[in-house]
Chain A
Amino acid sequence: METREVIASGNDLVAMAAVDAGCRFFGGYPITPSSEIMHTISDLLPKVGGVAIQMEDEIGGVAAAVGAAMSGVRALTATSGPGMSLKAENLGLAQMAEVPVVVVDVMRGGPSTGLPTRVSQGDVRQARNPSHGDYRSITLCAGNLEECYTEVVRAFNLADRFMQPVIVLTDETIGHMHGKAVIPTADEVQKGIVPRKTFDGPPEEYLPYGVGPDEPAVLNPMFKGYRYHFTGLHHDAKGFPTEEIETCRKLIQRLEDKVMKHTDELEKNEEFMLDDFNGEEGEILIIAYGSVSLAAKEAIRTLRKEGRKAGLFRPITLWPSPAKRIRHWTDMVKNVLVVELNIRQYTEEVERVSGRLDLEGLYKVNGRAISPYEIVEKVKEVF
């Protein structure tokens, strides 16, 4: 793959990735620490014929993006935790009506206004179920500058494949981190774009939601002669509201199955220094994601130098969780440490899928990053 080197911040890379991935609409609202995404994309989009609109609030930002995505273009909104709380209703609508919109959440301390200028991973649990009702969130988590680019590109492709919102979590540390990143060229990104499915038959036969039991809706772009009804209510194959028992059941079951029967297409993990694990005593499995994984890797290098066999399992797709792979490693290794910038938000998922209740955890919720040293100390203390 052809690559290029750029010097940019995480937030800038998000904006660049969106434009390179074919995003042509941005709707947003100022919020620290994600505002730079809006600043940069409002420079970039007009140059490629796209539109960036600052809306009157967070709800307007996501709603405009949903509207644009409905019309057929790739659309983005970016925010931080308080904005996610406000956007929740529209994310539920986009789940129900199957609108592929990408949402980037640059996490800061919460709940509420919290710590606007400081880092956190407190939105991990929220990203799983931002809105009420049954549906499956697809949530990716960038762990370094490169991934601010590549995961946003992947998010757009997944959104069009699964026809639903895709959330990309970054955080204040990575969003404001400035440095060199080796990223694919724009040409490479464009080669990898799989366009949204469309229906090419006669308009009178078009059934946007009349798809197989584990398939996403086929929403044709607007203004092309294909008419359908669009609603947040339970709806039939044409999109019209209905209370018919079987239709309602099938719809919600399909929203579940279109994701959960295809998790292999979503799963993405990094396994760092796990190659030589063989399940013997003394091995230390660290589970971390996002910016925390940078500190975890450094800690592992230090531990290795000291003769402790440590390795990292890092989920990049957080939701749905890589259950099988987590089980594989937690079954093999006795000592497991989960490191998060929240209190047990992903640990609980690891507990659920591994069935183990003896996991050690290192958590921090004071707006400061976790240092490699702290991880090393924790490992020495508990294992």
Chain B
Amino acid sequence: MAQKKIKNLKSFSTSADRFEGANLLCPGCAHSIIVREVLNATNDDLVISAATGCLEVCTAVYPYTSWDASWIHIGFENAATAVAGAEAMYKALKRKGRLLQPKRTPKFVAFGGDGASYDIGFQWISGTFERGHDIMYITLDNEVYANTGGQSSGSTPLGASTTTSPAGRVSYGKKRHKKDMLAIMAAHGSPYVAQVAPNKWKDMIKKIQKGFEVEGPVYINAMSACTTEWRFPAQDTIAISDLAVDSLVFPLYEIVDGTKLNITYRPKKVIPVREYLAAQGRFKHLFKPENEHIIEEWQRRVDAQWEYLQRREEAGV
């Protein structure tokens, strides 16, 4: 076990990078912040698989790579299965005593976007978790198919305007709420699932390290603010992320063994959901008088979710 000791932001920012800042992601993309934090949370060897998506197309363009780790790019739906295969083979070699360095403890990590996780790859994530591979699956959740032109996904929230749920005279955008992936993955009996955001980096590192410690499949849903499709200025990524967690649109919590929920961040001052929505172009149309009810619906839902999380935490379930 080679967990990094990270005391403060300075020591963290000066620790050796395993994911280089030089990549083709949009300026202000949260993906690179999250991936860097995940990779820097451990000194162990890493085996990483990446589903097709923004992260994959932008970080390994020949002849360059941003990854100081073993890295597999696989089809859109199979990040979980690829890393599960690598993990299963590793275990077999270990059992047979055929590892060259048997004392090392590599970590197996899969990255997928929300399209790859909530939609097309869902079945394969489910299978991987049922089989109990010792892996970590991380969804970079930017709530849209950002790599193919901004289409709606199973994670796109209510009222967001996307290229396949465009807002206009007839429609206020996406008609349905996003899937609750954390609840779904916790229901698989996963030893550890958690929601993280790059602006709360200490919370994030703690959860990633916890995830690496436990045995079995771990699911992490990482909010990744998308400057291009959420439509906010590139320098505001962290500010938008702050709005998301402080308005409780994206609450930070974890569920241990599928049965014990802990809230890990409580905003000192909860801000109205309206402020979070107002900061993004994708929700601009919601501020027309005829769409006000969607903002109210949003607030109701966020309040109800927060109330539910607190009840679960209190009851220790």
Contact = CB atoms under 8 A, between A and B. Distances in A.
A35 B151 CA distance: 9
- Chain B at the A interface: SS class: loop
Given A46-B170, A82-B75, A113-B52, A56 B120 contact: yes
Contact of A57 (B52, B57, B119, B152): B119
A43 interface: yes
A30 B166 contact: no
B152 A54 contact: yes
Contacts of B149: 30, 32, 35-36, 39
Interface string B150-163: 01101000000001
A56 B163 contact: no
A31 B52 CA distance: 11
Interface in B134-156: 145, 148-149, 151-152, 154
A112 B73 CA distance: 11
Contacts of A29: 120
Contacts of A30: 115, 145, 148-149, 151, 164
B76 A82 contact: yes
Given A30-B149, A32-B149, A82-B76, A38 B52 contact: no
Contacts of B148: 30-32, 35
Contacts of A46: 170
B141 to A, nearest CB: 16
A42 B164 contact: yes
B122 interface: yes
A110 to B, nearest CB: 12
A32 B75 CA distance: 14
A316 to B, nearest CB: 29
B150 to A, nearest CB: 9
A25 to B, nearest CB: 15
B75 A112 contact: yes
B178 to A, nearest CB: 13
A115 B122 CA distance: 25
Interface string A99-125: 000000000000011001000000000
5 contacts: A54-B152, A56-B122, A112-B75, A113-B76, A116-B57
- Per CB-CB distance, the 4 closest pairs between chain A and chain B, nearest first, are A57-B120, A30-B151, A30-B148, A56-B119
